[in-house]
Structures are given as C-alpha cells and as structure tokens.
C-alpha cells in the first residue's frame, strides 16, 4: 500500500454532509470509507443499528426496517439467545440494505435513571450488559459483517456530553463499566470498538492511552480497530498515539472540533515521524484485520438492496417485546384479562395508533412508517430527533383479542371524560408514554403532560385500572397503590401493540425482569439530576433571550459510587427502591430447591425450579454472590442467570455458570483480578432484594 492508501483507510465520511457520497453512490446513512479498489479493499458502509437499521429523520425516504424494542426490553429477557436473534435479524436487514459495518453493540452500563440514552442500553449490571451485548454482536456478525461495541467507556450522560469529564477510581471502573465491555468484547469479538464523546479521568475517551492502548489493546488483546464517535476526535498525534485507529464522520469534526485530524494532518505527522510508520501500519492492519476476520472481503455485501422477509423479522421483534415486558404489579390477579370482560376503555398514549420509540441516532423508520412524529422546537436533540411512534396499535390488538367485549378509546386529554368512561366500563387500560432521546437527559423522572393526574383520576373512577408504561427507563409512580396492574413495556418496538395485548390477555405469560432499579424517589439515586444541569439551564435561558453565544463550560462529574452501581448502591445505602433490579411477576409461580454451588475454575450452581402455578411460564433465576470490591465494600452481585421455560407442575434442574470476575476484586497495582480464597456466600434470588435460598461456594 502506498502511504496515501494507508492514510485513506483511517477516516470515514458522513454521507449526509460529504459531497463524495454521491460519487461513491453511498446511501444516506451514518458513515462510509470508499475502500481501495486497486487492492480490492471493499468500501466500509456504516449504519447505526442498535435497535434496527436506523434511518434518522427519514433521510432515506421510505427505507423502512424492522424496529426492535428498546435495548432495556432485550435486557429484561435475561436471555442471550433472544439478544443474539435480535442482532442476527438486524444484521441480516443491514446486509440486505448493503451495509457492512454496524454501529451497534452498545455496552455502557446505566448509572443514572434519568439519562437520555438509557433506552439504548442493557441495564445497570456488568454481567447482564456484557453477556447480552456480546450475544447481540455475535448475532450481527453472523451475517459476515462487522459490528462495533460502543461507547468505550463510561459515557454516562447526555448533558454536556462533548465536554464533560467523568471521573472515577480506576479499580472501580474495571469492576463495573469496563467489566461490561470486557465480557461483551470476549463474547462478541466485535470488529471495532467505538470511543465516546466525553473525557474519562481527564482525557477524552478517544485520546486515552490508558484505556485504548492499555486496557483494550494490551490487557484484553483486542485486535480490531478503534473508531471515534461522530465528532469525538480532537487531535492527530495524541489520538493516534493513544490508540485511536480511525476518525469517524470527519465532517462532524470540522463542525464540532474545527478540523479533520486523520487525513492530511496524519500524513504530515507520519512524514515528520511524530507518528511512527509502525503505528500507521498498526492502524491500517487493525482496520483490515477487523474487515477480513468478519468476512467483508470473502463475503461482500450486495451492491444493490435485496428483498427482506419483513414478516418473519417482525416476529423477532415481537418475541423480544413479549419476553421483555415486565409485569410490575398484579393485584388480585387482575391480569390476565378474562374472556368474560364486557367492556374495556383504553386511554391515552396514542394507543389507537401506535407505540412510542426513543429518539436520536438509533431511530428506526419502521415498517408501516411513522404514524405520529412530533418535532422538537429547541434543545440539543432538535436537529436529529423527533418523537416517533411505530405503527403497531395496542387498541387494534386488544380489540382483536377481546372477542365480544366493547372496546372504546379516549385520548386522555379530557380527564373528566376519561373518568366517566372508566366508571362506566368493566375496566380501564391507561397507556402512559415517556419520551427519551439521545442528546438530552431527563430533568425529572415523573411522567409528563399530566399523565399522573390522568391515571389517578381514572383509577379513582374504576380501581380495575391497568397501566401500561411505554418508557425509556424508570419513572416515578405516585399512583401505584391505586391501580390494579402495571406493565413496563419499555419502548416495545414495531410489534409492541400485539405483544402488549398478548400479555394482557394471557396468550403470553410475562417473564421480563427489571434490568434496572426503579427508584421510589429521584433522590435515592447517586445523582438526582445530571451534572452540568444548572449550566444547561442558564445556556437555554440565554438562548431564549436571544444570546446564542453562551456555551456550557467543561465540567466534571465524580462517580463516587464507583463500582456500586444500581442495586449495589441501594444495598449500601439501605434504601428500598420502588422496584428492585431483577424484579418481575408472572401468571404462574416458581419455587426453588436444592441450591448447590461448585467453585474452582468453572464455577457453577445447580438448582431445581418447579412451576407451582397453573400455566406454563418462564422463570429467571438470578445467582448472587457476596463479594468485596477494591474499595472494601461488600455487596451481593449478580454472578449468573438463566431464563427457563417450565410447564405447570414440572421441576427442572438447571446448571447456571457463574462469571468469576463479578465476585473478584480488581488490583490496580498488579493489574490483575484477585479472587477470594475463602468460602463465598451465594444465593438464588427472584430479584436483587428477594434472595430465596442461600448456600456457600
């Protein structure tokens, strides 16, 4: 390869802003690199694909794809095979649409309940996140295309995301956010890893020698390439020497950071030996290894879009929604709805038309289009996000299953009318929606638009009220004690309506478990609100007043909870959340017996599970191990889990492998995991706070 050819592989363009997109006939997606025809090096054709092949703002007019539910729904299945099937489906669609690099594999753990991108992530526990992200990456890459794992690492909030500095103890980082990536990368073997926007411990993630060269490449032996996020390259020499291999969407760096860093500037740096020739070769080799290893050379993607079996793909999305919806409350077995119900009033959430989705770069234009789309007037997401509903009507799906019942709909804007209708009906189903998007954090965990008042009013008129939540994470539920049942459906994807109706009527027995703690109050969480919020408010006020120049100054957030994220934080603080990590009800019941643990190099537990209830269902036994971290705190930690379908009256013996790093301690001095040699307490739980049987290992 000539020097120019080598350099040419180390950056990508954004087709939305690059004049070259037309010349190379690139779809209006996220990124591309033209490749090197002289050497038969194929083009990199990149698309966001975390929840389906994205089509942000419908730039590729009419190019629809299958929309999975939010990643929280996949996480709530606690099932690798479901995560893998989702990835495989998305990868197949991407390939058919001529893409060969998928910006997927989101493996950040959720630290804050209010963070804007929580719906794109797999929860708060490193083992759950790493295992399912790894499986999703495997699924994508089974199509002989490349996937990323992103955003490496600790990319925790949207407020000031380009400038904030996330500060954390290095050992705690290993035991939490890094552990999730370590597991995801081991299992998924992604071709590429994407760096974040923000700084971690004082360095931009894409300039961190410690994280890129040190942890990822040296300690973990990662052989593929590190790409930046779109607009997260800030330098040439420093970034290249720290381990960044490819500058993504270079037009973003022009807009956000004032220059392109990995084209002419990199060429100069190599010529002047500021970046050694050997490092340049390493960068190129890494891109090529990722491409060759995943099949981009041997199995080129089609040059023109191919037909897709949307029917069968929709079933993949529906399966995730059905297994990932969490039944949070079910007083007096209100659900499943009996066939004898005579009248149902469905209220709110645009349930007559569709289901809500989350906003930002992951936005899928789903099959059936976007029946409702609401643009934003202001704010950091206004340029690239709209509130978008998928065309899957819960109302229609309920009508289809409620044979004989009178099913009516009210949009919920008139509370008095809703109360009257609820009073007159056998029961009410209120759909509550709560939108989140990339680019903006929530300022409150409360439902918006008077939906709390709507639920209170309806429940007061008829206690036989079921609330279906379509949210991108936890919300506060002041009305909890007044309603009969609550379903957390997350953003349920393009078959969400059907999935919700199937669960309401018992065609599907709910088996989802919370992948994230639901706090009882906002102040229970480590940070009640995003860092930098005051500055953001001041900036927005200045903008309102016509001053566009005010910027948010760089700030840092100290992650003082360290590795004690989510349920571990609640344990240490002795706080009772509204709903614990791992919690979820079923229409049947399960009992546990004969818990036994085997330690050593392949640690595992065996357990008997009996379905003691009336119907078939899936249980999610969770194995927690009590362990002490580098900071000296001792908590229960999820060390293994399974999702098992069991018929009524049947007992199944399960063997659940444990991940030892979840109960090890990271020793920063020796850069090694240290395993306690003594006896460990273990437990099987129905959630992080409901440990049913204990044993030792």
By C-beta, is 124 or 158 nearer to ligand BGC?
Answer: 158
Specify the residue, 30 or 233, whose C-beta has the smaller distance to ligand BGC.
30
CB neighbours of 662 closer than 8 A, spacing ≥ 6? 126, 127, 179, 625, 627, 637, 638, 639
**DSSP for 289-351, written as a single string:** HHHHHHTTTTSPPPSS-----HHHHHHHHHHHHHHH-EEEEEGGG--SPPTT--EEEEESTTT
Q: What is the 3-state secondary structure (H, E, C) of 481-493?
A: HHCCEEEECCCCC
Tell me how many residues contact ligand BGC (CB under 6 A).
Answer: 8
According to CB under 6 A, which residues from 35 to 94 bind ligand BGC? Answer: 48
In angstroms, the CA 51 to CA 317 distance is: 10
* Residue 467 C-beta: closest distance to ligand BGC, Å: 31
Taking the least distance from each CB to ligand BGC, the nearer of 197 and 569 is 197
CA distances from 113 to 156, 471, 565, 617 (A): 10, 12, 11, 29
Our CB check for ligand BGC shows the closer of 103 and 522 to be 103
Nearest C-alpha neighbor of 364 from the set 317, 320, 396: 317
**Please, what is the minimum distance in Å from the beta carbon of residue 269 to ligand BGC?**
25
Q: How far apart are the C-alpha atoms of 437 and 70, rounded to whole Å?
A: 12
Q: Is the dihedral of CA 500, 503, 508, 514 positive or negative?
A: positive
Q: Which is nearer to ligand BGC, 232 or 517 (CB)?
A: 232
What is the C-alpha to C-alpha distance for residues 592 and 285, in angstroms, rounded to an integer? 51
Axis crossing angle, helix 80-96 with helix 126-141, rounded to the nearest 10: 40
What is the closest distance, in whole angstroms, from the C-beta atom of residue 193 to ligand BGC in the complex?
A: 12
Tokens of residue 472, six digits: 């991108």
**What track of x and - describes contact with ligand BGC for positions 122 through 151 (by CB under 6 A)?**
----------------------------xx
Q: Which is nearer to ligand BGC, 30 or 235 (CB)?
A: 30
Q: Beta partners for 674?
A: 665
In the block, residue with structure tokens 């009248």:
343
Please identify, using beta-carbon distances, which residue of 97 and 464 lies nearer to ligand BGC: 97
Which pair of tokens denotes residue 383? 């340029």
In this structure, what token pair is assigned to residue 2? Answer: 């000539």
Euclidean distance between CA atoms 257 and 234, whole angstroms: 6
**Interface mask (CB under 6 A) for ligand BGC, residues 148-187, using x and -?**
--xx------------------------------------
Which residue shows structure tokens 């489906």? 89
- Give strand pairing partners of 434: 471
Helix axes 177-188, 126-141, angle to 10 degrees: 30
- Any idea how long the chain is? 697
Site for ligand BGC in 230-259 (CB under 6 A): 230
193 closest CA partner among 202, 208, 181: 181
Question: Closest distance between ligand BGC and the C-beta of residue 114, in Å?
Answer: 18
CB-wise, 70 or 361, nearer to ligand BGC?
361
Q: Residues with Cβ < 8 Å from 214, sequence gap 6 or more?
A: none
* Contacts with ligand BGC, 466-505, as mask; x by CB under 6 A: ----------------------------------------
Shortest Cβ 69–ligand BGC spacing (Å): 18
CB of 578 to ligand BGC, least distance (A): 29
- Element housing 609 (H / E): strand 604-611
Alpha-helix runs per DSSP H in 402-441: 415-424
Q: Which residues, including other chains, have CB under 8 Å from residue 295's CB and lie 6 or more apart? A: 144, 145
**Count of CA atoms in the C-beta half-sphere (13 A) of 332:** 9
If the CB atoms of residues 363 and 494 are measured against ligand BGC, the closer one turns out to be: 363
Map tokens 């119900």 to a residue. 341
- 369's torsion region: left (phi>0), alpha (psi -120 to 50) or beta? left
> Site mask, ligand BGC, residues 622-661, x = CB under 6 A?
----------------------------------------
Dist. CA 388–CA 377, nearest whole Å = 15
When the beta carbons of 124 and 229 are compared against ligand BGC, the nearer one is 229
Minimal distance, residue 490 CB to ligand BGC, in Å? 19
Residues numbered 331 to 360 that lie near ligand BGC (CB under 6 A) are none
Q: 192 or 586: whose CB is closer to ligand BGC?
A: 192
- List the 372-375 sheet strands across, edge first: 355-356, 386-390, 372-375
Q: Which residue has the tokens 């949070």?
A: 328
Q: Which of 229, 245, 380, 470 binds ligand BGC (CB under 6 A)?
A: 229
Nearest-approach distance from CB 261 to ligand BGC, in angstroms:
17
Residue 178 beta carbon to ligand BGC: minimum distance, rounded to whole angstroms = 19
Nearer to ligand BGC, 249 or 577 (CB): 249
Give the one residue of 11, 12, 18, 30 binding ligand BGC; rule: CB under 6 A.
Answer: 30
Check residue 107 for interaction with ligand BGC (CB under 6 A): no
Q: In the complex, what is the shortest distance from the CB of residue 287 to ligand BGC, in angstroms, rounded to a whole number?
A: 17
Q: Which of 103, 211, 485, 682 binds ligand BGC (CB under 6 A)?
A: 103
Q: Which is nearer to ligand BGC, 212 or 327 (CB)?
A: 212
Name the minimum Å distance from CB 109 to ligand BGC.
16
Instruction: Determine how many CB atoms are found less than 10 A away from the CB of residue 448.
Output: 13
- Report how far residue 558's alpha carbon sits from residue 202's, in angstroms, rounded to the nearest whole number: 11
Q: Which residue is nearest to ligand BGC (CB)?
A: 361
- Which lies closer to ligand BGC via its Cβ, residue 385 or residue 656? 385
Residue 201 CB, nearest distance to ligand BGC (Å)? Answer: 20
> Do the Cβ atoms of 308 and 564 come closer than 8 Å?
no
Q: Which of 73, 147, 208, 361 binds ligand BGC (CB under 6 A)?
A: 361
Nearer to ligand BGC, 113 or 195 (CB): 195
Give me the least distance between CB of 250 and ligand BGC, in Å please: 13
Cβ 624 vs Cβ 639: under 8 Å: yes
Nearest distance from residue 621's CB to ligand BGC, in Å?
A: 33
Residue 359 CB, nearest distance to ligand BGC (Å)? 12
Separation CA 40–CA 59 (nearest Å): 30
Q: Residue 266: which of 630, 606, 7 has the closest Cα?
A: 7
CB of 30 to ligand BGC, least distance (A): 5
Which residue's CB is nearer to ligand BGC, number 192 or number 465?
Answer: 192
Which C-beta is closer to ligand BGC: that of 50 or that of 617? 50
Instruction: Please state the closest distance from residue 119 (CB atom) to ligand BGC, in A.
Output: 13
Q: Which residues bind ligand BGC (CB under 6 A)?
A: 30, 48, 103, 150-151, 229-230, 361
């Amino acid at each position: 390869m000539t020097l120019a050819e080598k350099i040419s592989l180390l950056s990508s363009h954004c087709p939305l802003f690059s004049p070259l997109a037309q010349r190379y006939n690139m779809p209006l997606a996220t990124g591309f690199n033209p490749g090197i025809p002289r050497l038969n090096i194929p083009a990199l054709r990149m698309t966001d694909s975390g929840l389906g092949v994205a089509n942000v703002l419908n730039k590729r007019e009419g190019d629809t794809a299958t929309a999975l539910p939010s990643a929280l729904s996949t996480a709530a299945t606690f099932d690798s095979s479901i995560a893998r099937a989702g990835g495989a489906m998305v990868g197949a669609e991407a390939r058919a649409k001529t893409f060969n690099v998928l910006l997927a594999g989101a493996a950040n753990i959720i630290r804050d309940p209010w963070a804007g991108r929580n719906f794109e992530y797999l929860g708060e526990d490193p083992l759950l996140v790493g295992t399912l992200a790894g499986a999703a990456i495997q699924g994508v890459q089974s199509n002989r295309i490349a996937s990323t794992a992103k955003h490496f690492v600790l990319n925790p909030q949207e407020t000031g995301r380009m400038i904030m500095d996330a500060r954390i103890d290095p050992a705690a980082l290993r035991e939490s956010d890094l552990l999730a990536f370590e597991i995801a990368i081991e299992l998924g073997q992604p071709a590429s890893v994407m760096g974040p926007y923000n700084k971690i411990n004082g360095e931009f993630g894409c300039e961190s020698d410690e994280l890129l060269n040190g942890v990822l490449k040296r300690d973990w032996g990662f052989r593929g390439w590190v790409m930046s996020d779109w607009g997260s390259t800030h330098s040439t020499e420093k970034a290249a020497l720290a381990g960044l291999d490819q500058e993504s969407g270079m037009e973003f760096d022009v807009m956000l950071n004032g220059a392109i860093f990995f084209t002419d500037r990199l060429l100069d740096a190599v010529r002047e030996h500021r970046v050694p020739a050997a490092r340049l070769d390493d960068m190129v080799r890494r891109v090529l290894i990722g491409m060759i290893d995943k099949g981009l050379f041997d199995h080129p993607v089609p040059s023109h879009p191919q037909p897709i079996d949307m029917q069968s793909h929709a079933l993949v999305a529906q399966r995730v929604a059905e297994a990932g919806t969490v039944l949070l409350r079910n007083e007096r077995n209100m659900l499943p709805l009996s066939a004898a119900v005579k009248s149902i009033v469905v209220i709110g959430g645009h349930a007559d038309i569709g289901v809500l989705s989350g906003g930002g770069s992951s936005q899928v234009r789903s099959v059936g289009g976007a029946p409702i789309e609401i643009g934003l007037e202001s704010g950091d997401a206004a340029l690239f996000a709209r509130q978008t509903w998928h065309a899957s009507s819960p109302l229609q799906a309920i009508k289809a299953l409620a044979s004989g019942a009178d099913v009516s709909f009210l949009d919920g804007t008139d509370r008095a009318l809703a109360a009257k209708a609820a009073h007159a009906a056998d029961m009410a189903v209120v759909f509550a929606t709560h939108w989140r998007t990339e680019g903006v954090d929530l300022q409150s965990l409360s439902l918006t638009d008077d939906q709390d008042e709507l639920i209170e009013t309806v429940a007061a008129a008829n206690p036989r009220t079921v609330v279906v939540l379509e949210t991108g994470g936890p919300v506060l539920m002041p009305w909890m004690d007044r309603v009969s049942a609550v379903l957390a459906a997350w953003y349920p994807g393009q078959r969400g309506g059907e999935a919700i109706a199937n669960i309401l009527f018992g065609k599907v027995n709910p088996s989802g478990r919370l992948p994230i703690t639901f706090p009882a109050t906002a102040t229970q969480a480590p940070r009640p609100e995003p860092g930098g919020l005051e500055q953001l408010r001041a900036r927005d006020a200045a903008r309102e007043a016509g001053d566009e120049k005010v910027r948010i100054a760089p700030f840092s957030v100290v992650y003082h909870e360290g590795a004690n994220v989510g349920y571990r934080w609640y344990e240490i603080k002795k706080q009772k959340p509204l709903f614990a990590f791992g919690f979820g009800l079923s229409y049947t019941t399960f009992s546990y017996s004969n818990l036994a643990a085997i330690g050593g190099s392949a640690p595992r537990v065996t357990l008997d599970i009996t379905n003691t209830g009336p119907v078939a269902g899936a249980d999610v036994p969770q194995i927690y191990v009590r362990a002490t971290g580098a900071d000296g705190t001792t908590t229960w930690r999820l060390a293994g889990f399974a999702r098992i379908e069991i018929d009524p009256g049947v007992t199944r013996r399960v063997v659940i492998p444990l991940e030892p790093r979840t109960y090890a301690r990271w020793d920063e001095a020796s850069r090694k995991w240290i395993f306690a040699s003594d006896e460990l307490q273990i437990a099987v739980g129905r959630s992080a706070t409901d440990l049913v049987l204990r044993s030792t290992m």
